[in-house]
Amino acid sequence: ERAIRLAPADVQFRLTYAELLGEMSLWEQAIQQLEQVVAAADQRPHLKARALCLLGDVHHIAEPPDYKKALDNHFEAVKVAQLLRNDPHPAIRLSAKQTLVDAHLGAARDIAWGAWEQKESVVPRWLERAESLAQDLVQTEKQTPEPLFRVAATALAVSVAVPKAIDPSPWIEKLDEAF
């Protein structure tokens, strides 16, 4: 809060603050901060993409969850981050790729737990894409296997919502392989 008071235009401070608010289950305040970041971050699209992804996450976990708003924000995060995945600046490129993984996982969760038609065929595709993006982070960007771990963990979580579509066995193996 103090950092935001001292530098109210710094979107990174607001983004970090919003993450903390979300962790403390202060969803309304987190949403407010994230919406401010989205509105102010046109010159820093990697932060805008991250804020959209986090906004989707907050709508997903808020009480009550709003899976439609969550999915809309995850879709928008994918659109913004996709444009940056080949950025020559490593920090921007990595941020975009990490956001792409998270937004794909968020969309998989939103669809799995929401009242959507054809989720049995759609959720696995979102997970496959997230896994491909995570492999790119590990192989091309030389990141730790943590993104692969998150993909496997999310796949296991959504397998509860769509058990006919997702066999947890391969994801358990991938979870072990990630570390």
CA distance 135 to 130: 9
Give pLDDT tens digits for 40-56: 999 999 999 999 999 99
| Diameter of the chain measured on Cα atoms | 52
Q: Which two tokens stand for residue 79?
A: 């659109």
Q: Which two tokens stand for residue 28?
A: 């309304």
Q: Which two tokens stand for residue 90?
A: 């490593």
DSSP 141: S
Peptide bond into 170 cis (omega under 30): no
Q: In the prediction, which pLDDT does 177 show? A: 85
Q: Which two tokens stand for residue 19?
A: 């993450």
Give pLDDT tens digits for 59-117: 999 999 999 999 999 999 999 999 999 999 999 999 999 999 999 999 999 999 999 99
Q: Where are the alpha helices (DSSP H) in 83-145?
A: 90-113, 119-139
64: three-class secondary structure by DSSP: coil
pTM given for the model? 0.94
pLDDT, mean over the chain:
95
